[in-house]
Structure 1
Amino acid sequence: MKSNMKKFIALILILFSAGTFAQEKLTLKECLSIGLKNSKELAIANSRIVSSSAKVDEINTQYLPQLKFNASYSRLSDVPPFEITVPFSPKPIQIAPAILNNYSFRLSMQQPVFTGFRIGSLKSAAELNRHAAEEDYDKDKNEVSMNIHNAFWNYYKSIQVKNLMDENLQMIDKHIEDTRNFMSQGLATQNDLLKLQVQQSNIKLQQIDARNNIDLARTALNKAIGLPLNSPTEILPEEADISAPVQYNLQELVNEALNKRSELKSLVLRIEAGMENVNAVKSTWYPSVYVTGNYYYSNPNQRYQPPQEKFKGTWDLGISLSWDIWNWGNTSAQTVQAEQNVVQSTISKDQLKDAIEFEVNQNYLAYIYNKEKLDVTKTAIQQAEENYRTTEEKYKYQLATSTDLIDAETSLLQANTNYTNSVIDFQLSKIRLYKSVGRMIN
């Protein structure tokens, strides 16, 4: 009974392990979902949003009254009590006893009334910086999505190239078998067989490179989607979209990029925040007005005379004004610094616009170039297939040499490889173009 139970438990464990380690093939959409969820870059970008939101909350608290509580205790040295001598009195009259223990509790309130527009400017700057952080998040999200697309399609390309190698090797194996039959009939020579065997070895070497490329591409995809690098990830790709391209207008693409790019929006928001910071610095040229109030609970309370060794409460309420009349140009120097930060950011914005325009031009030309390559390689496949079909047919009747057959096979393999590369390059060039004009990648 125990033996059967052990076998049953072992079987359950094996089935559980098999289910646990079974690797489902991932679609592009699933890779994007996993990658965006695991992205450390997006986690950092989201943390910046949370931090900038907390900064807005911090500034908002400055509109509200600030309450502070203070408590103190002191022990005084022993001194004689305060007494006066009155004529005809046998004893001096004690005015105030010597109170050696002093306790003091104070609750203070300060409410800003006017701060030279400092709080409002700081709040506007903080809100603008928060919106800039949100734009940065969108930019980083697009970057991560682009990296996942790139890794996914390159992995797919490496698999397709390996499949082409396998198909080509099967073709050569068949031709070697045919050539052996021809040799037995005296229709082919040993040299014909050797040429095919050399080609067979070359393809096997290329297979090794292709397998290595698959491993490297899989590792790159694992890294892009945040999985362990050695995960046996497999993909289930959709058909690449190689439909006829939209006839884009380059200037319209540039204009779209200048309106949509998140990093440009972010920089514009930070320039506006910098201008608000300038206003905040200038606020020290104005007076600051506060309403203040205090409640004292002390033993002794100095407001009561003569002092008594008892806890008594008193309060006061007032208004205070503070104005920095002269500080040797400190405010002016701080203002210049803040203004120059805005100048630097404005110049950086112009540089970014130039870089965006160049990137759009570059990706637009790559898009057109890869579409042309796709059309050419598609035609080349048709030609290579026809050439191979004709040459193979001739070789069956020994009207073509093994060299002709090898050349036809090599041309067909190269044409198929070029077409596969062109399909993926065109797919990625479209995505890069979309990204460069500020469209969200999904």
Structure 2
Amino acid sequence: MKLYLVLGWLFGSLTLAYAQEKLTVKEAIAITLENNFDIQLAENTTKIAQENLSLGNAGFLPTVTANLNQNNSLQNLEQIQNSGEVRSMKNAKNNSLNYGLNVGWTIFDGLGMFTRYKVLDETEKRTGIAFKKSVLTQVSDVLSTYYSIVEQKTLLAALDTTIQISADRLKVAENRFEIGKASRLEVLNAQVNLNEDQSNKVRQQAVVKNLKTNLNRLMGRMLTVEFDVLDEVTFQETMLLPNLQAQALTQNPDLQLIAVDKTLAELQLKATKANRLPVIRLNAGYIFSDSESSLGFVKSSNAKGLNYGATIALNVFDGFNQRRNERVSKLQIKSAEILLAQQQQLVESTLLTAFEDYQTNRLLIDLEENNEKIARQNLRITLDKFRIGTVSTVEFRDAQENYINAVARRNAAVSALKRSEIQVEFIAGNLRIAE
């Protein structure tokens, strides 16, 4: 379904020339996906979680350390032997060098390492969902802003039309004044109305410019980049509520995030229970040792060899903290279940409300399009009558303002329908770009 927001001159065609490059919806989305800062941050967070997902980070793999220890001393010594002999030395040197490799490996920790790996896996999944949410949020903001520009730019074109009409009205009033068929007051009123229309155009130009600046910000590029948008608003052909409800339950990012949080709470309980089981750690090392002494029974010694062992640790009593931690973990699971149910209800209600707005806006478009046609036709007739002097300036101005208001309402209806469509698809977790 395609609607074209194109305004023509009431008695012909009004073509507006723009020097800026045309920016399509798909191009805006592509630029956003590449440059948007929020999306980049979310993507970077996802990459961090991917890096953290490893067997070593979960504690499956052993640790290997290399050690080197060099000690030296320079002392004045005096030793008295059992025999009474006295031995002394000034600046006696003592040197020792120890080096080697040590290996430590926790082979069992109550299955805690398996739980930690699952936690890392779920954390990576969570960052992926958060990345998806960031993309959906930024793209929906880009779409809403893009179509707001279309709406406001179309209204700007309507103001150009009414300025031309007001200028035509001023000329007619001046001609009638010159031939004595109108008062000076009629000319002044026409001039005031023309000035008002021109002021409205200046304000409307500022609205369009600010929206373009905001769109540049959302796309993550220079705020001063000049561009223009297409005057076409495209809608999805069909949107079925049952399909959207099914999609929302499986694809809504907020619902997915809370579901992952519930899984993480369950894993936390498993990790807490793992503390009840023993921890078995193996260790081994190969050490080299060299030492020299200037005074003593041993002048030098060298040693090398393997050392190994095992450690078994079991939490026997920790002040009832184990039981407390398990109870807290169970309560956290319960909280996660409540939050999940609450979020599911929120998603369902928000979707129903957004879909109702969507259907209402579809109906309003037909009404506002009809109103615009009537207002345009009324303005044509009123302008013809004004030229021959059969309607007052007040009646003409009313017809002119009715036309502008009808155009604004029609544009607002189109924009509201597009925003409601975007909102519905955002809640369902699946934004589509209509062809």
- Per the TM alignment, residue 401 of structure 1 is displaced from its structure 2 partner at its CA by 2.5
CA gap 1:242/1:139 in 2 versus in 1, 3 angstroms: closer
Offset of 1:73 from its aligned partner?
3.6
Q: What is the identity, as a one-letter code, of the residue corresponding to 2:312?
A: L
Q: Aligned pair 1:200/2:194, yes or no? A: yes
Q: TM-score, normalised by structure 2?
A: 0.84
CA distance in structure 2 between the partners assigned to 1:202 and 1:58 by the alignment: 71
- RMSD between aligned residues: 2.9
Q: Cα offset for 1:366? A: 1.7
Equivalent pair of 2:146/2:229 in contact (CA under 8 Å): no
1:99 and 1:309 in contact (8 A); partners too: no
Deviations 1:246-297 (A, max 9, x none): 3633x55333212211221122122212212221222121111233212121
Cα distance between partner residues in 2 of 1:331 and 1:307: 53
TM-score, normalising length from structure 1? 0.82
Higher helix share: 1
Find the aligned partners of 1:75 and 1:311 in 2 and give their Cα distance.
Answer: 16
- State the partner residue of 2:323: 332
Tell me the equivalent position of 1:290.
281
Distance 1:253 1:319, change over 3 A: same
Partner of 1:321, secondary structure, is strand
Change (3 A) 1:262 1:174: same
Give 1:123 shift.
Answer: 0.3
In the alignment, is the contact (CA less than 8 A) between 1:222 and 1:233 conserved in 2?
A: no
What is the rounded CA distance, in whole Å, between the counterparts of 2:51 and 2:323 in structure 1? 30
Letter in 2 for 1:241: T
Partner of 1:270: 261
One-letter identity of the residue aligned with 1:233? E
- Work out whether residues 365 and 414 of structure 2, in 8 Å CA contact, stay in contact via their aligned partners in 1: yes
1:328 is paired with a residue whose SS is: coil
User: Does structure 1 residue 416 correspond to structure 2 residue 413?
Assistant: no
Equivalence for 2:146: 152
**Secondary structure of 2:232's match?**
coil
Q: 1:288 to 1:49 in 2, by over 3 A?
A: same
Report deviation, 1:176: 1.8
Contact 1:195 1:403 in 2 (8 A): no
SS at match of 1:427: helix
Counterpart among 27, 51, 56 of residue 48 in structure 2: 51
In 2: Cα distance, 1:344 partner to 1:81 partner: 75
User: 1:54: Cα distance to partner?
Assistant: 2.6
Partner amino acid, structure 2, of 1:220: N
Could you tell me which amino acid in structure 2 is paired with residue 283 of structure 1?
A
Say whether residues 1:68 and 2:65 are aligned partners: yes
- 1:6 maps to what in 2? none
CA shift in 2, pair 1:359/1:315, >3 Å? same
| Structure-2 residue corresponding to 1:174 | 168
Tell me, in whole angstroms, the C-alpha distance in 2 between the residues paired with 1:119 and 1:192: 88
Q: Secondary structure at the match of 1:102?
A: strand
Q: What do residues 33-90 of structure 1 show as CA deviations (whole Å, max 9, x unaligned)?
A: 2222222211221222122223222645621221122232445775759999xxxxxx
Aligned length: 403
Q: 2:372 aligns with which of 368, 376, 381?
A: 381
Alignment equivalent of 2:238, drawn from 224, 227, 246: 246
Partner residue of 1:35 out of 15, 32, 42: 32
CA distance change for structure 1 residues 228 and 109 in 2, over 3 Å: closer, same or farther?
same
Deviation string, structure 1 residues 370-393 (Cα, Å, up to 9, x no partner): 212211110101111221222222
2:229 to 236, 241, 248: 236
- Deviation per CA, 1:213-249, whole angstroms, max 9, x where unpaired? 12221222222222343x0432232510257x63633
Q: Deviations over 1:111-144 (max 9, x none)?
A: 2222110100000011011001101100010000
Amino acid at match of 2:187: L
1:434 aligns with 2:425: yes
Q: Distance in 1 between the 2:430 and 2:396 partners?
A: 48
Alpha carbons 1:242, 1:423 under 8 Å: kept: no
Residue aligned with 1:310, SS? strand
Q: Using the alignment, how far apart are the partners of 1:130 and 1:161 within structure 2?
A: 47
How far has the Cα of 1:32 moved from its partner? 1.7
Q: Taking structure 1 as reference, are residues 369 and 316 closer, same or farther at Cα in structure 2, changes over 3 Å only?
A: same
What letter corresponds to residue 158 of structure 1 in structure 2? Q
Q: Relative to total residues, which structure has the larger strand share, 1 or 2? A: 2
Moved more, 117-126 or 157-166: 157-166
CA contact (8 A) 2:144 2:422 kept: no
- Per the alignment, do residues 69 and 336 of structure 1 end up closer, same or farther by CA in structure 2, a change over 3 Å counting? farther
CA–CA distance in 1 between the matches of 2:58 and 2:243? 46
The answer to whether the Cα contact below 8 Å between 1:278 and 1:335 also exists between their aligned partners in 2 is: yes
Query: Is the contact made by 1:25 and 1:233 (CA closer than 8 Å) also made in structure 2?
Result: no
Unpaired stretches in structure 2, ≥5 consecutive residues: 1-18, 86-91
Shift of 1:335: 2.7
In structure 2, do the counterparts of structure 1 residues 332 and 69 end up closer, same or farther at CA, with 3 Å as the change threshold? farther
Which of 371, 396, 402 in structure 2 is aligned with 1:405? 396
